[in-house]
């Protein structure tokens, strides 16, 4: 399957490349756009500042251009935190999207959004200040309302970006469980490359 994997607000770090390699090892074609054009940061605050400097419209433009050559085939969209937000926005606007794998992040859902049984899987810390329970409950209900088939996996007591071994939030057990479950989700969608 063709997969596009978007990085977090930390930029295109080694953990994103490692995630892409896991997906490739499972037989998938993986595309890893660099929405920050080579810039990486060490803290969430620096990442938010960089995101704001680039601007959400420009980030979305870069993401659309990055997936355009592959979207006709039907993509599985995936992303970490900010990248999850980008992946969600693109998947909900792509009638050929095969699925959506979100790690650590979601996004607002447009009032006009509608999908036809789009498979969606979210992996998130519990609790997570970036994805509080009230928000996730509303997000889940809204995603179901627009036609998505949603699964949420919560990981108690871990930090926000718990899949990145180079960050303080890292939790090896939760990260491995996320990857096992995420890879099984993608496998269930069929059409291996």
pLDDT category at 172 given cuts 50, 70, 90 is very high
Helix, strand, coil shares, percent, the chain, to 5: 40, 20, 40
pLDDT at 165: 96
Does residue 193 surpass a pLDDT of 80? Answer: no
- For 155, the token pair is 């990981």
Contact indicator for 48, 39 with CB cutoff of 8 Å: no
Distance separating alpha carbons of residues 119 and 143, to the nearest angstrom:
10
Structure confidence at residue 119 (pLDDT): 98
- 34-59: burial string, b at 16+ Cβ within 10 Å, e else: ebbeeebbeebeebeebbeebeeeeb
Q: Is 53 helix (H, G, I), strand (E, B) or coil?
A: helix
pLDDT tens profile 54-91: 999 999 999 999 999 999 989 999 999 999 999 999 99
């Amino acid at each position: 399957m063709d997969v596009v994997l978007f990085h977090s607000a930390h930029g295109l770090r080694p953990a994103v490349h490692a995630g892409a390699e896991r997906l490739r090892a499972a037989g998938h074609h993986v595309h890893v756009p660099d929405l920050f054009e080579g810039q990486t940061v060490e803290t969430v605050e620096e990442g938010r500042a960089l995101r704001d400097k680039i601007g959400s419209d420009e980030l979305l433009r870069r993401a659309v251009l990055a997936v355009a050559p592959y979207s006709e085939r039907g993509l599985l969209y995936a992303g970490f935190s900010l990248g999850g937000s980008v992946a969600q926005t693109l998947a909900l606007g792509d009638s050929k999207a095969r699925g959506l794998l979100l790690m650590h992040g979601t996004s607002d859902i447009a009032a006009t959004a509608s999908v036809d049984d789009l498979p969606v899987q979210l992996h998130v810390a519990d609790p997570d200040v970036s994805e509080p329970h009230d928000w996730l409950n509303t997000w889940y209900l809204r995603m179901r309302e627009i036609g998505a088939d949603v699964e949420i996996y919560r990981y108690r007591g871990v930090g926000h970006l718990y899949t990145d071994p180079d960050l303080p939030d890292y939790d090896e057990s939760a990260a491995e469980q996320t990857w096992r479950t995420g890879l099984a989700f993608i496998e269930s969608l069929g059409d291996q490359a």
